[in-house]
Structure 1
């Protein structure tokens, strides 16, 4: 059902206009009398003041609209600035400083699993096919990560071809399962390298209870990653110290 016509917008100065018109009518109908010129002057002054007031209101409305538009733009720019400060420009995931800060803040009140992964033989990809192809591989790896990790996870790029995945409230076994799923996703992804070779990644996993910190957890996960690299790459290894810590959680 169509809405009824709301009619014309009421004049903000309707009462003042009516008073002005009444004064004009009274002045026109009255016989010339002492004080008539003073009334006429008063009417002219009042009319001028009313016009000026209307102009100022229009200017104020325009200024308010422009101020609101500027404020909206400022908020948009602030959000964009914050995003750029916290995210990697190539991949859009958290940058190194942001993922470290996020992990440390989460450790303040909850346990956390940290997955560290490194793309295998990435230097060969860059050297053989160029940096644009290397960037495509990095973007493909990030797409695999984002497609597999749970919604609660946080992904960060901590180095050129190295990434960290933070998994709140995931046990060591659960985080290892996620890492294995990520490893398989990358292994099976079609990166379309010119020589037809596959892209793989190696993983290190660490679990730590609430009160931990990024540097300690990352160090243990990185050690596990190094073991995976030495064992032949395209593997997931979990830090033994983290498993020991997990076994003593009540």
Structure 2
């Protein structure tokens, strides 16, 4: 523990001499002035040292604050990198699964599962860098079609999930159909020479169910969409009566 008396031992000694001198009525004025001057010099030194210590303390505090900010930024960056796909900046597989399971503890959720049609051909014909740009452009177009409450996750190379919390199956069908129409309306800017389309599977998860059941139903619908020619939206038959097809190329999973 820091001993204040030891730290300021010299100053205490000078102050004691000055106190004794002040109490000694017989002490000559010159001697009193000498003691007073000694006190003044030590006081000036004490002020300088105190300022130096305080300055060091301030610098140390600023440095600690700076390091703390850097650590917080690094922690946030690591958290982001652990939960997001590095190419598209959407949730990665583990993060979107956790997000879906958490949402299912609170309410029903709708899930759209989509897979880019013939993506391997794009990679083979134009190269993987172009394929990556296609994925990013497609995600950007999807984002524009989604409400703020929706979340996108990349669960495979060209497979994505769209989580719609507290949504009805009708809402999910409308959104999936809108994205489908958007992709068919015009080519992506990064590949203007051809349309990039996708197949969609739509399902609804009831509160307190889990990701596996919800994903399995959406995946079954997606399989049907692919089997029937791709570039269409499919809905599991459990929900068909709740959400009749909103366009001609919506398939029913049986």
Find the partner of 1:184 among 181, 184, 188.
181
Give the Cα separation in 2 of the matches to 1:40 and 1:125.
89
Say which SS state the counterpart of residue 89 (structure 1) adopts.
coil
Is 1:233 paired with 2:230? yes
Find the partner of 1:167 among 164, 181, 205.
164
Give the Cα separation in 2 of the matches to 1:51 and 1:141.
65
Give the Cα separation in 2 of the matches to 1:192 and 1:66.
47
Match in the other structure for 1:49: 46
Give the Cα separation in 1 of the matches to 2:52 and 2:45.
11
Is 1:209 paired with 2:206? yes
TM (norm. structure 1) is 0.81
Match in the other structure for 1:223: 220
Give the Cα separation in 2 of the matches to 1:125 and 1:193.
12
Unpaired stretches in structure 1, ≥5 consecutive residues: 1-22
1:195 to partner: Cα distance: 8.6
Contact 1:207 1:243 in 2 (8 A): no
Describe the shift of the 1:35–1:140 C-alpha distance in structure 2 as closer, same or farther (beyond 3 A): same
1:44 to partner: Cα distance: 2.1
Any idea what the Cα deviations from partners look like across 1:114-160, whole Å, max 9, x if unmatched?
A: 00000000011111111011111101110111010111100000000
CA-based RMSD of the aligned residues comes to: 2.3
Match in the other structure for 2:91: 94
Where do residues 1-250 of structure 1 align in structure 2 (5 Å cutoff)?
A: 32-191=29-188, 196-243=193-240
Unpaired stretches in structure 2, ≥5 consecutive residues: 1-17, 244-254
Say which SS state the counterpart of residue 94 (structure 1) adopts.
coil
